[in-house]
């Protein structure tokens, strides 16, 4: 299984075939998508965040760096830049590097564009997504040795998110105990259905520091080309923690698999303004 270590920050995703048919109607599960306006935590102070990716909190697997700023012209958009790579023993087995950029409307917290480029030992891929009000347009380019392939596809339903904008929207909500938020998230060229349920409040220790945190459990399913949802039997549970304060900083994400768990944990934070 070719797992992209960088995207364990929010989800454990695998790439899949692209969508090309816009003639079918919306599936029943689209009714479950949360369409509430952004909550009172919509504003986010410009910040730089660093995360360490670990296997069972013992084996260093990678790093992810994220910088979130307002655009220079009028501060009407969030611009989020992310980069990361596999490290240590994991890099010997799977050398991987990525860069991503998400541009999000500050008022609605809806994504406008998302770009991702990634490179491993044998292949380079790039994904460009344009988010319109009623559809998403994907352009995927893959380079392997001397061959380059490019394809454009569409998913015509509303309220799609990219992997970075989904965190903006989720943290903005009230997140009261028992609340749930369901989003359609596209990290590559295929949307996934993700439901986050607030388990409660607790003290959570990360890298030697204890935080007051909001704990959420996540249920993630892949959207097939026929618009059915495929769940992952090998994923037992995915849990996220946000700081329980005005900033709602993502602290940690753990994905429990049948053979252990992978975590992304906050390793550094710096305010940019």
Q: What is the pTM of this model?
A: 0.88
Strands (E), the chain: 47-55, 59-70, 77-86, 97-105, 111-119, 124-131, 136-144, 147-155, 160-162, 180-186, 192-206, 209-223, 229-231, 235-243, 250-257, 260-271
- Planar angle of CA 227, 101, 232, nearest 5 degrees: 35
Tokens (6 digits) for 80: 């989020």
Instruction: Write the pLDDT tens digit of every residue in 79-109.
Output: 999 999 999 988 998 999 999 999 999 999 9
Q: What is the mean pLDDT of residues 148-154?
A: 91
User: Quick one: pLDDT at residue 74?
Assistant: 67
Q: What is the mean pLDDT of residues 227-238?
A: 84
User: Quick one: pLDDT at residue 72?
Assistant: 73
Tokens (6 digits) for 3: 């797992």
Please name the residue that has the structure tokens 């986010």: 44
- The span from the CA of 83 to the CA of 215, in Å, is 25
Q: What is the mean pLDDT of residues 108-114?
A: 95
Q: Which residues pair with 200 in a beta bridge?
A: 215
pLDDT tops 80 at residue 23: no
Instruction: Write the pLDDT tens digit of every residue in 239-254.
Output: 999 999 999 999 999 9
Residue-averaged pLDDT of the chain? 88
Band of the pLDDT at 44, cuts 50, 70, 90?
confident
Q: What is the mean pLDDT of residues 71-86?
A: 88
Q: What is the mean pLDDT of residues 209-222?
A: 95
- The span from the CA of 42 to the CA of 198, in Å, is 18
- The span from the CA of 219 to the CA of 236, in Å, is 9
pLDDT tops 60 at residue 198: yes
Residue 243 near residue 30 (C-beta atoms within 8 A): no
User: Quick one: pLDDT at residue 8?
Assistant: 38
pLDDT tops 90 at residue 3: no
> Which of 147, 148, 157, 151 has its CA nearest to residue 138?
151
Instruction: Write the pLDDT tens digit of every residue in 45-66.
Output: 899 999 999 988 788 889 999 9
Q: Please indicate whether residue 174 or residue 237 has the higher confidence score (pLDDT).
A: 174
Tokens (6 digits) for 31: 């009714």
Q: Please indicate whether residue 232 or residue 99 has the higher confidence score (pLDDT).
A: 99
User: Quick one: pLDDT at residue 59?
Assistant: 82
pLDDT tops 70 at residue 172: yes
- The span from the CA of 200 to the CA of 27, in Å, is 31
Q: What is the mean pLDDT of residues 221-247?
A: 89
User: Quick one: pLDDT at residue 156?
Assistant: 87
pLDDT tops 60 at residue 21: no
Tokens (6 digits) for 268: 């550094």
User: Quick one: pLDDT at residue 225?
Assistant: 86
Residue 113 near residue 127 (C-beta atoms within 8 A): no
> Which of 99, 90, 87, 80 has its CA nearest to residue 63?
87
């Amino acid at each position: 299984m070719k797992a992209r270590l960088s995207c364990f920050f929010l989800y454990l995703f695998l790439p899949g075939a692209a969508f090309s048919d816009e003639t079918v109607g919306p599936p029943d599960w689209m009714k479950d998508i949360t369409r509430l306006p952004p909550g009172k935590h919509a504003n986010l102070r410009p910040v730089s965040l660093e995360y360490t990716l670990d296997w069972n909190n013992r084996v260093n697997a990678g790093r992810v760096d994220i910088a979130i700023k307002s655009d220079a012209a009028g501060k009407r958009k969030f611009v989020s830049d992310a980069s990361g790579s596999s490290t240590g023993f994991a890099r010997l087995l799977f050398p991987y590097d990525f860069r991503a950029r998400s541009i999000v409307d500050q008022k609605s917290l809806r994504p406008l564009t998302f770009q991702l480029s990634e490179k491993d030992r044998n292949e380079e891929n790039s994904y460009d997504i344009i988010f319109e009000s009623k559809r998403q347009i994907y352009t995927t380019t893959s380079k392997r040795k001397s061959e380059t392939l490019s394809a454009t596809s569409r998913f015509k339903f509303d309220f799609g998110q990219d992997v970075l904008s989904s965190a903006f929207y989720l943290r903005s909500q009230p997140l009261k105990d028992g609340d749930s938020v369901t989003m359609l998230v596209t990290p590559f060229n295929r949307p996934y259905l993700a439901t986050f349920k607030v388990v409660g409040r607790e003290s959570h220790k990360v890298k030697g520091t204890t935080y007051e945190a909001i704990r959420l459990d996540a249920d993630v399913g892949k959207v097939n080309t026929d618009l059915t949802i495929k769940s992952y039997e090998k994923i037992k549970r995915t849990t996220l923690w946000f700081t329980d304060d005005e900033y709602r900083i993502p602290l940690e994400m753990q994905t429990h698999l049948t053979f252990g768990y992978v975590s992304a944990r906050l390793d550094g934070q710096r305010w940019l303004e």
